[in-house]
Chains A and B, each alone.
Chain A
Amino acid sequence: AQSVTQLGSHVSVSEGALVLLRCNYSSSVPPYLFWYVQYPNQGLQLLLKYTSAATLVKGINGFEAEFKKSETSFHLTKPSAHMSDAAEYFCAVSRGAGNKLTFGGGTRVLVKP
């Protein structure tokens, strides 16, 4: 069975500081991994996805994530936080390329001025 663990349900960062959101997965086969963002009262929007083409994946809004098979991790980073980054972030895994997602518990990001 696949599962996704996000460390830290809440993260608080200062504007301009590094954003680091952790995601670890378990999968018996090479996974497809995704990061989604959810703004208040909105649906989920794709930030980036890993589909085995490259281990460092760049997404929208300056976010990127690195796939590390040895650590079974897919952590999300952004060098400099902006107030507009305040949202909830979800890591998800699919063995079938996005067709059936298993989500982590989510990490809510608060950006302090």
Chain B
Amino acid sequence: EPEVTQTPSHQVTQMGQEVILRCVPISNHLYFYWYRQILGQKVEFLVSFYNNEISEKSEIFDDQFSVERPDGSNFTLKIRSTKLEDSAMYFCASSDEQPRQPQHFGDGTRLSIL
């Protein structure tokens, strides 16, 4: 069964550095998403991406964040000038356009900011 893959599984970065989280969505999916889960808290929506542009973003997704689909398979989340509070699990997800289809999540990247 096709799946969403994320790399790396764990990223440790010094505060102030830039980090890029990578995702390979399911190949025939049209919508791509990033979510964040701070340890012990609920999953929070960051951004959705469709047709090579951001279609929706939350208040969390400020100028520090950006997303890109650099080629036909990868979908990346860039976090500039990382802060301690950016430490979290970051999930990539993808879905078909139809509402019945669930968003399929990757296994997540655990980001630790030191």
Does A pair with B?
no
Chain B contact residues, CB within 8 Å of chain A: none
